[in-house]
Amino acid sequence: MDIKTKKSSPSMDEWLKVAKSDPRASQVGMFLVHNGVVRETAKAKVRLGEEGTAPVTGMVFSYDEIKVNAAIEETYKLKGVYYVRTWLNEGQLEVGDDIMYVLIGGDIRPNVIDALQFLVQKIKTECVTEIELK
């Protein structure tokens, strides 16, 4: 397996500056950011309640860019969504490293929250590979 070098995380200040200058920004009443981070607690323990799982020391992370782009296009079809931007890391990550950022801009809070939930869920379940290291 070819492990790529992890990327530098983006600046949310810069992302928001760009988003607010987008031609559709006048329709946006809210921006929400998701920042996924490598955690020490194994997914099996957090999601499945499996006690006795070894702590995570890192993660090998990769993604399918075509699938991510398709998920973004689907998100734009949701009600009230006017701006979407994603960044996904790759390679061997350590606890505390950023896995992904997702920025959604939309008209009202419920639509933006729903869109963020939709896109993060789609990316996590259909677009990425995460291998926890212990």
The domains located in the chain, with CATH, are: 12-133 (3.90.1170.40)
Dihedral pair phi/psi, residue 51, rounded to 5°: -75, 160
Q: Sort 22 into a burial class: Cβ within 10 Å, 0-12 / 13-18 / 19+.
A: middle
pLDDT in tens, 16-61: 999 999 999 999 999 999 999 999 999 888 888 888 889 999 999 9
Type of residue at 99: I
pLDDT in tens, 89-124: 999 999 999 999 999 999 999 999 999 999 999 999
